[in-house]
Structure 1
Amino acid sequence: MTVKVAIAQMNSIVGDLTGNATKIRDLARQAHAAGADILVTPELSLVGYPPEDLLLRAGFYVQSALALSTLANELAEFPGLHVLVGHPHQVADAHYNAVSVLLNGSVLASYCKHALPNDMVFDEKRYFEAGNQPVVIDVKGTRFGINICEDTWTAGAPLQAREAGAQVLLVPNGSPFHLNKEQLRFDVMRNHVCAAEMSIVYANLLGGQDELIFDGNSFVLDKDGRCMLQMKHCEEQLDFIDFIDGVPQQTRCEPTLSTEAQIYQALVLGVRDYVTKNGFPSVLIGFSGGVDSALTLAIAVDALGADKVRAVMMPSPYTADISWIDSREMVKRIGVRYDEISINECFTAFRNTLSEEFAGLKEDTTEENIQARIRGTILMAMSNKYGSIVLTTGNKSEMAVGYCTLYGDMAGGFAVIKDIAKTMVYRLCAYRNSVSDVIPERIITRPPSAELRPDQKDQDSLPPYDILDGIMQRYMEENQSRAEIVAAGYSEADVERITRLIKINEYKRRQAPVGIRITHRAFGRDWRYPITSKFRD
């Protein structure tokens, strides 16, 4: 007997119960028209994921229950279609992360998530209690079990489903993207689901939610771990697969993208969703003619269209001629509105105002930071006036060591490349130019500079970026000690310097705008170090 399963790689909006229900109903209509017997939507698809402290509000559960009941009634127009919908579920005083199977106008069954993740970006134990019962439904003679996301990252819940008779495991997911996550999912599902002699339908959420990116990449594996279907990266999609007597039939598997393509598409999705879901009409970017702002500008245009992006060049007395030339060339290529607003008069006014206070003192980073703060003030004034959100352009390497200015280049609403190391910035620029040549080559090849003093270069203040990024990755992302990093071949002086800078600049990062998470450990939800601390490992 053939069972057709539809997988909805859907982009929910947190808290938009009406909009999400409408989207599920539309997907059900398409699935039913295609002859599907089952439609699987992602984890908490009805309310969006993660809802965070909305889950502490009683009214959130009341409205979720009402929305689920209303949706179940509406789906009665699609007889025979089993629709898996993720939602928060309250039973007496207990709260669960649940999936309900809606069929012919009613709730056929509800499954409560067993394994509650409480590490990295997850803190589900703050909100939910763990379920402990399997749910298996029979559809045309094939027995489908249900797990939710983290349940399949250990062997317990899949084995329980198998022991209850499941042949196929349906798994709604809210699995966020980070580098190499696609292969990691395959490996874990093969170890915990296919090893239990079950096929798996892995339906993953799509979209940007604050700093998190949900990349889709939903898939189906047979019980031997072979890919039967893989859906697209960072694209909303509805796809189908047939099961004959519980065995998935080969359709197609999307080719794995390069690392640079995966990251770039995730950044585009993150910008598009943050800006549009929060209702901003357009974005502003302080464009210096440097590589970071060039990459940010390209991402913004790809995400929103050139008509919603405005680049503002704010030259100072130290801005090089090539910065003007390269900036004008790139905005010509990319087609955005471009303005040049000199900060010279403002800088002179600040110097004059502080001349008596600073009499007899040498110029230093104070004067450099004044320039950055003037630029930040100009951008935020324009943001206030026009309602546009400012996209900041600082990268992870700079954020790590504090090579950024509070209330200056850190001023803004969304940090696009906050989790992108400088060495990866160059790789992403090369990738974007391989699609179409939008970033002038000299922007990529010239030595990076903040241009806040004469003939300034980043490497005057920092080690070479390949060294900085290597130490940062080992210390911050991989939790290696200083001794381990030195043993890996880095100089003790560089390791001591970089790790010290990471520690003392925690106060800056706490005041930085939210930004897109790309690695498995980003500054933000993953990184919770105290500002006040004397510990040294």
Structure 2
Amino acid sequence: MTAAANSDHFRITLGQLNPTVGDISGNAAKARIAWEAGRDAKADLVALPEMFILGYNAQDLVMKPAVQAACLAAIEKLAVKCADGPALAIGGPAVEDGKLYNAYFICRGGKIASKALKHNLPNEDVFDEVRIFDSGPLGGPYSVGNTRIGSPICEDAWHEDVSETLEETGAEFLLVPNGSPYYRGKFDVRMNQMVSRVVETGLPLIYLNMVGGQDDQVFDGGSFALNPGGKLAMQMPVFDEEIAHVDLTRTSDGWRVEDGAKALIPGQFEQDYRVCVTALRDYMGKTGFKKVLLGMSGGIDSALVATIAVDALGGENVRCVMLPSEYTSQGSLDDAKDCAERIGAEYNFVPIKEGRDAITNTLAPLFEGFDADVTEENIQSRLRGLLLMAMSNKFGSMLLTTGNKSEVAVGYATIYGDMSGGYNPIKDMYKVRVFEVCRWRNQNHFEWMMGPKGEVIPPSIIDKPPSAELRPDQKDSDSLPDYPILDGILEMLVDDDASVADCVAAGYERDVVKKIEHLLYISEYKRFQSAPGTRLSRRAFWLDRRYPIVNRWRDNS
């Protein structure tokens, strides 16, 4: 007997899908595919994630009246097309009495039958919903057939009030639509919150999250269902688009989710790396770029970015360019070529000597009487940026930049030079972790990686001391503390908002901490102009951490 024909059974089809912000017709087409799968499976309800019709996180785009009207028209059209079959639940913006809400639309019988309005608006990390949306009132459940369902929208399920109100007003189970982006450890945080709602209400809970990359954020899916007591009934995979059917059975104690497939949650290194791959793949695909290029220095950062790019796009779509000067070591030349060949990328050799000589000669009359300094070093970096951007223009390839979080934090990069580029997959990855991830990638391969198996990053790249190679015998450690010390201080100052005194209490030398704090603040203008990059933590450099460019405050604790 089908779920729809039996009042003691209820089937929900979950569309854990990847929308594109602003592609309203494309997102509607994905919703239609999910609905057809639900119809064929005799589902009672087909559910899509939060704000699915527009995509998420749409930021100020959702405030445009024309966008709001287009979203509503698309949902109304879907309702008509999906009249003969299961109900359809889909997220989108709603305007009522001049107020804009984050809403969840329930379509039945060819029309929008009801909607839930988000009450708790997140206003931290990457979210500005208090500025964008109005808070909806605490509401009750909606009906699908003889079943009453409560849908706390994303943040609403992180607070007690909405779920408890829904339970008190007759909801028989909770269906939570989400646009919840990844940060390291986020899955466990979500699960703990949802277990709390289940324990408090005594109701089963189905958590539906979207997948895919949007700018710096990656939505990691991992949708799941919990029964009263917090027992896991089903678990969808992380990061993969998937349409799944969830069955509930009415018992003497109320509805219970039937046991289903339980996907394994990968380890932290695999999740982080896949986020980098997914972010780049979707950033490219959703902006229309097919190929990338990058400066391949023979160092570890560019080697990792090149490997991520090949895993995201395939070696045939990645161009690695070595741009040597007289300071480039033979080891770097060999390592860059070796790595490009191992990952199957195109490799080009473009010396910068002639261009650098021309620039030096042009500036010689103006610079007469001045000693050589960092100016001449930066000319090399900026010349490389110019040449790489020229190739980007000529070949229609997006230029990737390769600065890790340690360098981005302290400004150890040349603006308009090696900071040039359209995207940075390792922008939120500290240098010590770069080394760890390279070793991990050499030992691991999964079907979602388009690059080859095996030791793709030469050990010589991982083992040698990092250097910008802009002057003779240069090492990063000439200008910065060793990376374990630097990263430890930055994790405290940036990720934990710790004070200088906290860092000193943790065992770091005060003068070193003060130097790093100074570099962190004076580099704000560089970060303001830097390429977007994959968010891996709750304190990534963009929406998670917003500081003024002009800032004379210093912590003297």
Normalised by the size of structure 1, how large is the TM-score?
0.97
Match of 1:243 among 237, 242, 248: 248
Determine if the alignment matches structure 1 residue 333 to structure 2 residue 342. Answer: yes
Structure 1 residue 141: Cα displacement: 4.6
In structure 2, the residue matched to 1:32 is: 39
Per-residue CA shift, 1:7-66, capped at 9, x if unaligned? Answer: 111100111110000010011111221222222211100110122112221111111111
DSSP-derived class of the 1:98 partner:
strand
User: Deviation per CA, 1:185-222, whole angstroms, max 9, x where unpaired?
Assistant: 01111223432212211111111111111111111111
Find out whether 1:352 has 2:346 as its counterpart. no
CA distance in 1, matches of 2:463, 2:167: 56
Matched, 1:324 2:347: no
Cα deviation for residue 434 of structure 1 reads 1.1
Tell me what 2:466 maps to.
448
Question: Could you tell me whether the CA contact under 8 Å between 1:167 and 1:197 is conserved in 2?
Answer: no
Matched, 1:469 2:487: yes
Whether the aligned pair in 2 keeps the contact of 1:509 and 1:523 (CA below 8 Å) is yes
Aligned to 2:450: none
Moved more, 203-212 or 220-229: 220-229
Q: Say yes or no: does 1:59 pair with 2:77.
A: no
Count residues with an aligned counterpart.
535
Q: Report what 2:402 is aligned to.
A: 393
Counterpart residue identity of residue 60, structure 2:
D
Say whether residues 1:301 and 2:283 are aligned partners: no
C-alpha distance in 1 between matches for 2:98 and 2:62: 13
Q: Is the 8 A contact 1:152 1:193 kept in 2?
A: no
Matching residue of 2:23: 16
Per the TM alignment, residue 236 of structure 1 is displaced from its structure 2 partner at its CA by: 1.0
Q: Which residue in the other structure is 1:516 paired with?
A: 534
Residue 155 (structure 1) aligned with residue 160 (structure 2): yes
Residue 170 of structure 2 corresponds to residue 165 of structure 1:
yes
Matched with 1:310 is 319
Question: Aligned partners of 1:104 and 1:514: how far apart in 2?
Answer: 44
Describe the SS at the equivalent of 1:356: helix
For 2:269 and 2:159, the matched residues in 1 are separated by: 30
State the 1:142 CA deviation: 4.1
Please identify, of 243-252 and 134-143, the stretch whose mean Cα deviation from structure 2 is larger. Answer: 134-143
1:23 counterpart SS class: helix
The corresponding residue for 2:48 is 41
Give me the whole-angstrom Cα distance separating, in 2, the residues matched to 1:308 and 1:507: 32
1:320-350: CA deviation from partner (whole Å, max 9, x where unpaired): 1111111111121111111010001111222
SS at match of 1:420: coil
Supply the AA of the counterpart residue of 1:221.
L
Q: Distance in 2 between matches of 1:142 and 1:30?
A: 21
Greater CA drift, 326-335 or 407-416: 326-335
State the alpha-carbon separation in 1 of the partners of residues 288 and 140 from structure 2: 40
Query: Structure 2 regions of 5+ residues with no counterpart?
Result: 1-7, 445-452
Give runs of aligned pairs for residues 357-506 of structure 1, distance below 5 A: 357-435=366-444, 436=453, 437-506=455-524
Amino acid at match of 2:165: Q
- In the alignment, the residues of structure 2 paired with residue 38 and residue 289 of structure 1 have an alpha-carbon distance, to the nearest angstrom, of 54
Q: Secondary structure at the match of 1:253?
A: coil
> CA shift at 1:95, angstroms?
1.0
2:518–2:554 contact (8 Å) kept in structure 1: no
Deviations 1:470-501 (A, max 9, x none): 11111111111110111111111221111111
Instruction: Find the aligned partners of 1:354 and 1:421 in 2 and give their Cα distance.
Output: 37
On the 8 A contact 1:109/1:135 being kept in 2, the answer is no
* Percentage of pairs with the same residue: 43
Instruction: Specify which of 211, 219, 224 is matched with residue 216 of structure 2.
Output: 211
Amino acid in structure 2 at the alignment position of 1:356 = P
Alignment partners' CA distance in 1, 2:238 and 2:332: 35
Q: Secondary structure at the match of 2:177?
A: strand
**1:118, distance to aligned residue in structure 2 (A):** 1.1
Report the counterpart of residue 99 of structure 2 in structure 1. 94
* Amino acid corresponding to residue 534 of structure 1 in structure 2: R
Corresponding position of 1:69: 76
Deviation at 1:231, TM superposition (A): 1.4
Question: Cα offset for 1:536?
Answer: 2.3
**Which amino acid is 2:347 matched to?**
Y
Q: Separation in 1 of the partners of 2:65 and 2:18? A: 25
Moved more, 307-316 or 356-365: 356-365
Alpha-carbon distance in structure 1 between the residues aligned to 2:368 and 2:230: 73
User: In structure 2, what is the Cα distance between the partners aligned to 1:5 and 1:427?
Assistant: 41
User: Shift of residue 429 of structure 1?
Assistant: 0.8
- Please say if residues 194 and 200 of structure 1, whose CA atoms lie closer than 8 Å, have aligned partners that are also in contact: no
**DSSP-derived class of the 1:530 partner:** coil
Tell me the C-alpha RMSD between the 2 structures: 1.3
Looking at structure 2, the residues matched to 235 and 461 of structure 1 have their Cα atoms a distance apart, in angstroms, of: 43
Counterparts in 2 of 1:16 and 1:269: CA distance versus 1, 3 Å: same
Partner amino acid for 1:76? Answer: A
**3-state secondary structure, aligned to 2:361:** helix
Q: Secondary structure at the match of 2:174?
A: strand
1:231 aligns with 2:236: yes
1:106-185 map, 5 Å? 106-139=111-144, 141-185=146-190
Paired residue secondary structure (1:255): coil
Distance 1:485 1:414 in 2: 32
Q: Which runs of 5+ in 1 are unaligned?
A: none
Matched, 1:197 2:206: no
Displacement after TM superposition at 1:6 (Å): 1.7
In 1, Cα distance between equivalents of 2:105 and 2:36: 18
Kindly state the Cα deviation for residue 250 of structure 1 after the two structures are TM-superposed: 1.7
Q: CA deviation at 1:302?
A: 0.9
